[in-house]
Chain A
Amino acid sequence: MMRSRFFFNSSVIRQNLRQHGWIGIIYSLVLLFGLPLQLFLNNDPNLERRSLDNLFFVGGEIQMLFSVTVPVAAALFLFRYLQAKAPSDLWHSLPLRREHLLVSHTVSGLILVLTPVWLTAAVTGMVRTLDSNMYIYSWADVGKWCLTMTVLTLFLFVFSVFVGICTGQSVLQGVVIYVLLLLPAVLLMLVNEHFSMYLYGYPAWYGFRGRNDVWSPLLHMIYVKTNPFTAGYLWLYSALSVLLFALSFLLYRKRNGEKAGQAIAFTYFNPLFKAGVMFCAVLISGTYFAHLRQQQLGWIIAGHLIGALVGYIAAEMLIRKTWLILTRKASLEFAGYTALLGLVLYIPVSGITGYENKVPAADKVEGVFVSDNYSTYDAYWNNAYPFTDKVNPFIGDKNYVEAVRKLHQAMASAKPRPQGGEYREFYLTYKLNNGRTLNRSYQVPVAGFEPELRTVMESQGYKNTLYRLFQLDKEIEGLRFSDYNKALIISDPQQVNELKEILKREIMNMSYDDQTGGQRSYSSIQIIGKPDADYPYFSDYEWKHSFSELTERLEQMGYADKIRITPGDVKSAEIIPNEYFSRLTGNDRYDPERHLQLARTEHRSAVVQDAEAIKDILDRGRFYTNSEGGYQVKLDFKEGRIDHVMLREEDLTPAIRAVLP
């Protein structure tokens, strides 16, 4: 009586351990192999012991490979009695309430999967001080490992039991378990893809590409090495385990014994199941066809319909356990579901939500972040990158906000699609007064949006964000200039500080054209942080051709020619008019050598050795592009390296003009 009051029956547990004990033994063995043994395995006997604060770094893949399978397998075996007729009849004819059966089987399963975890943790802790142990770690690290594994194992087991209660076939139970474990991440990806295709300005990166795997327990476990489970996640999974067990408890009472062998144990789950399968199929197929057929409307609709049909047929066949599903009722039902799903997918991307046209009013904006990459913004929010500076990326300057709003407005009303030509990528984030953020991303064509682009890109706010100027305000050890085989480190504090200030000024003075013209630089400039600084990550800067003050100062200091390429480094240069792109075909178009060959046959190439002309080319050359116009120059260096640059009409100095072909 006492035992039954506590909802479990020791004889059931004894029977289960007897029948399924092998699961616990195998799990113990693989975990012992996956952690304690790995601590001793190393080929190099002279290697020093390594310090470790995350035990998943040692053989984490092996541990997780089994941790994502064994608890699920244990649930499949232990709750097999729900899915097969004969054992179901036996267990349900016993004088035990279903609560007793559920609790007893769950307890047996947890004994089987948790004992190995605790055993492994104990062994790992005990071998801590052994000499041949390759790693240094504390009991607290073992405790952390043990807690993480316990919570994850518990969650996976209870989740699998819950799925078992809801389904009626072991195979389907297994499939559904893994599908559901992956589903949140996959669904997020599909929905994201859907929105970025049909919602103009939707930022596909937003809150998503950084750490997608945390949305799926399965992916999160597989990537445990790089993305450990924080206390928050452990609480979440513990709470989910309790919730799922409570749901299993309630649903098992309602479950009918005769459902053994059926696909889904509760008929009221059927519509959800059908709609869910259809939803995923529609998104996958729709996205696939849209990509395949360059977003032609007919193909998009066909793709979605095919997905709906395949999803419906698959779900229906599973539920009815036959492939003969064609009835009048089925076709009506299919039409209903398809219409519903169509609305669910269409409404968010239709004009109704006002998403595409929404530009926040100036007085509601607290600050704004604009960049052609989102790393600063992401680093600010994303705790997965603890090493990057947590600098508030938002800039509240009224003029800047206004410039950004203008650009946003222009994009939202014209909605240009990139079709050839030059365009620039922009990520916009507004921080609003009400604490929320509004995110958009656009590919802004340079042609037609130049005034708006110019205002934004010449703003101090934009430059502060894009070039991370706050880095230059920090105390640093030195500056490293480098370009191919040349490199120079300047570490004299006075010179470093002076150059920092000049660099800041130069960046602040960069015009729109300086930033967009494909201008090259003499060298890259790396910042060397203080050895004990807590911000080891830095962006690089460039010594751009347009930075005349910096150039002048470096020349005065006598560093310039030690860093940049000088005419003396160049063997020769060969100039041709850049007009052969349209006359070449296939991959030849993108091969500068082909352009040169063609020009030579037409005697339109000129080989230059004049030092002054070469110096002008080195000072003005732009990045190689595929668009026609101007001149193409092949630089042949003495060190054997070859480089191709472009010259525009305005880059032609008298010295260059004198040597043109």
Chain B
Amino acid sequence: MIEIRGLSKSFQGEKAVDSLSLTVQKGAVYGLLGSNGAGKTTLLKTLAGIYRPEEGTVTIGGEPVFEAPDVKRRIIFMPDSPYFFPQASVRSMAAFYRSVYPSWSEKRFAELGAAFKLDRRRKLSRFSKGMQRQAALWLALSCTPDVLIMDEPIDGLDPVMRRQIKNLLFQEVAERGLTVLISSHNLREIEDLCDHVGIMHGGRMLVEKELDDLKADTHKIQVAFRDQRHSGALEAKLQILHQEQRGSVSLYIVKGDRERIAQAFHVYEPYVFDLLPLTLEEIFIYEMGDAGYDAQPILL
């Protein structure tokens, strides 16, 4: 669905995005992670057709986005802080979107209205920030886009609101095959939303992974061996990403099939054996350590 190939974009000589490539399949929810200034917003705005790509191509459904109304009709970009016309209400913004986006669905607008419970006639500028975000999502989803690009949508929202957004997005993805791109500088915020995650740093894509694979593939193991020599023997058999000694208990991060790993450990009949799932954050910290990056400044 979304194809970015060798994209570069610089501002006053500083590269914000540096020969970056990215693919997002239709119906995927892609989380774009990275610290402040990693180039996430630039990437998203280029994808939304706001910025002109300097080098490389940005296509959606095989067509370049920049200055292509036919492509842009199927995309909605939601900026990090919602912007509406001065003095506008939900009603007047809806009227504007209706006339600009041919795919606007009055039915969807009415359905979502029940879910959001916002006053359509009230001035949007008098809404709270959270309400403005809801209004923006309401309007965006009413346009029934194929691609929804959200820049830091969850930043500072309460858990109820987060769940609501999550549910709505899942519904759209499941029912219509909506493709979603979400950026955040906080991994924990989008952990349960995304099925794909990419980490950006300094304008480049460091790691790109499918979450289910990752979670099934990487394991945290706490073990207390009967004999320390067993540890050395295991290292030869398994792909160990990380190892730590805490008193008599060893901590391993191991890649591989869960069953196979468990079997390998059981051979030595350890005193203690715990096989735990990793949090997304842990996975990335170890993955990136592997790639030679210190994850601390990149992930929060």
Complex Cα spacing A93 to B92, Å: 18
State the Cβ distance, B101 to closest chain A Cβ, in Å: 7
Contact segment of A4-12, A465-473, A561-569, A618-626: A4-12
Summed over the interface, the residue pairs from A and B with CB atoms below 8 Å come to a total of 65
Q: Does B70 contact A (CB under 8 A)?
A: yes
A258 near B51 (CB under 8 angstroms)? yes
Indicate if A256 sits at the interface (CB-CB under 8 A): yes
Which residues of chain B are near A18, meaning CB under 8 Å? 92
Within 8 A of B (CB), among A253-290: 253, 256-258
Min Cβ gap A88→B in Å is: 8
Let me know if A98 and B92 touch, CB within 8 A. no
Question: Once the chains bind, are A96 and B51 in contact (CB under 8 Å)?
Answer: no
Nearest residue (CB) in A for B42 is: A258
> How far does the alpha carbon of A577 sit from the alpha carbon of B286 in the complex, in Å?
112
Taken residue by residue from 282 to 302, chain A's Cβ proximity to chain B (1 for < 8 Å, 0 otherwise) reads as: 000000000000000000000
Which one of A11, A87, A92 contacts B49 once the chains associate, using CB atoms below 8 Å?
A: A92
Which of A4, A9, A258 has the most CB atoms of chain B within a 10 A radius of its CB?
A258
A253 to B67, CA, bound (A): 9
Q: Give the complex CA separation of A18 and B89 in angstroms.
A: 12
Whether the Cβ atoms of B11 and A258 lie closer than 8 Å is yes
Q: Which of B40-94 contact A (CB under 8 A)?
A: 45, 48-52, 67, 69-73, 75-77, 79, 81, 83, 85-87, 92
Q: B116 near A: Cβ within 8 Å?
A: no
Asked if residues B99 and A97 are in contact (CB atoms below 8 Å), the reply is no
In the complex, A97→B96 CA distance in Å? Answer: 16
Cβ of B161 within 8 Å of any chain A Cβ, yes or no, is: no
Give the CA-CA distance A94 to B70 in the complex, in Å.
11
* Contact present for B69 and A11 (CB under 8 Å): no
Give which listed residue, A86, A89, A93, A258, contacts B72 with CB less than 8 A.
Answer: A93
Contact of B50 among A4, A10, A14, A93 (CB under 8 A): A93
Closest to A4 in B: B69
When chains A and B are docked, how far (Å) is the Cα of A257 from the Cα of B48?
12
With an 8 A cutoff between CB atoms, is A95 at the interface? yes
B50 touches A95 (CB 8 A): no
Q: Which residue in chain A gives the minimum CB-CB distance to B73?
A: A95
Question: Is B272 an interface position by the 8 A CB rule?
Answer: no
Check if B100 is an interface residue, CB within 8 A of chain A: yes
Residue on B nearest A3 in the bound complex, by CB? B99
- Given the complex of chains A and B, what is the CA–CA distance between A256 and B86 in angstroms? 24
Q: Which of B50, B67, B86 contacts A89 (CB 8 A)?
A: B50
Name the A residues within 8 Å of B73 (CB-CB).
Answer: 95
Contact of B101 among A14, A95, A253 (CB under 8 A): A95
Contact between B45 and A89 (Cβ–Cβ < 8 Å)? Answer: yes
Contact indicator B79/A86 (Cβ below 8 Å): yes
A15 at the binding interface (Cβ < 8 Å): yes
Q: How far, in whole Å, are A12 and B101 apart by their CA atoms in the complex? A: 12
The answer for the CA separation of A9 and B77 in the assembled complex, in Å, is: 20
Taking a contact as CB atoms closer than 8 A, the residue among A87, A95, A258 that contacts B69 in the complex is A95
Cα separation A14 to B95 with both chains bound (whole Å): 10
Is the pair A10, B99 in contact by a Cβ cutoff of 8 Å?
A: yes
Chain A residue with Cβ nearest B49? A93
Q: How far is the CA of A19 from the CA of B88 in the complex (A)?
A: 9
Residue of B nearest to A320 (CB): B12
Nearest-Cβ distance from residue B206 to partner chain A, whole angstroms? 24
Establish whether residues A9 and B69, one from each chain, have CB atoms under 8 Å apart when the complex forms: no
Q: Which of B91-123 contact A (CB under 8 A)?
A: 92, 95-96, 99-101
Residues of chain A with a CB closer than 8 A to B11's CB: 258
Please, how many angstroms separate the alpha-carbon atoms of A9 and B73 in the complex? 14
Query: Contacts of B70 on A, CB cut-off 8 Å?
Result: 95
- Whether A93 pairs with B77 at a CB distance below 8 angstroms is yes
Q: Which of A12, A87, A93, A100 makes the CB contact (< 8 A) with B48?
A: A93
- A256, B81: Cα distance in complex, Å: 21
Q: Which residue from A4, A86, A95, A98 sits with its C-beta under 8 Å from B83?
A: A86
A324 within 8 A of B: no
Neighbouring A residues of B92 by C-beta, 8 Å: 18
B45-A97 in contact (CB<8A): no
Distance (Å) between the CB of A317 and the closest chain B CB? Answer: 15
In Å, the complex CA distance between A12 and B95 comes to 11
**What is the CB-to-nearest-CB distance from A14 to chain B, in angstroms, rounded to a whole number?**
8
B106 to chain A, nearest CB (A): 16
Q: Which residues of B contact A332 (CB under 8 A)?
A: none
Question: Are B96 and A11 interface neighbours, CB within 8 A?
Answer: yes
Q: Taking CB as reference atom, which chain A residue is nearest B151?
A: A89
Given B72, B75, B81, B83, which contacts A87 in the complex, CB threshold below 8 Å? B83
- Per-residue B-contact encoding for A321-356, CB less than 8 Å = 1, 0 else: 000000000000000000000000000000000000
Q: How far is the CA of A473 from the CA of B172 in the complex (A)?
A: 98
Chain A proximity of B135: nearest CB distance (Å): 14
Q: State the Cβ distance, A438 to closest chain B Cβ, in Å.
A: 51
A9 adjacent to B100 (CB under 8 Å): yes
Interface residues of A in 85-124 (CB under 8 A from B): 86-90, 92-98, 100
Does A94 lie within 8 Å of B100, measured CB to CB?
yes
B100 A89 Cβ-Cβ under 8 A: no
CB <8 Å contact, A11 and B79: no
Pick 12 A–B contacts, CB within 8 A, sort by A: A12-B100, A14-B99, A15-B85, A19-B87, A90-B83, A95-B70, A95-B73, A95-B100, A96-B69, A96-B72, A256-B51, A257-B51
Q: Which 9 pairs between the two chains have the least Cβ-Cβ distance?
A: A11-B99, A86-B83, A95-B72, A95-B73, A95-B69, A93-B77, A92-B50, A93-B48, A257-B50
| Residue positions of A touching B, CB distance < 8 A | 4, 9-12, 14-15, 18-19, 86-90, 92-98, 100, 253, 256-258
A4-B69, A89-B50 known; 6 other A-B pairs, CB under 8 Å? A19-B85, A93-B50, A93-B77, A95-B73, A95-B100, A256-B51
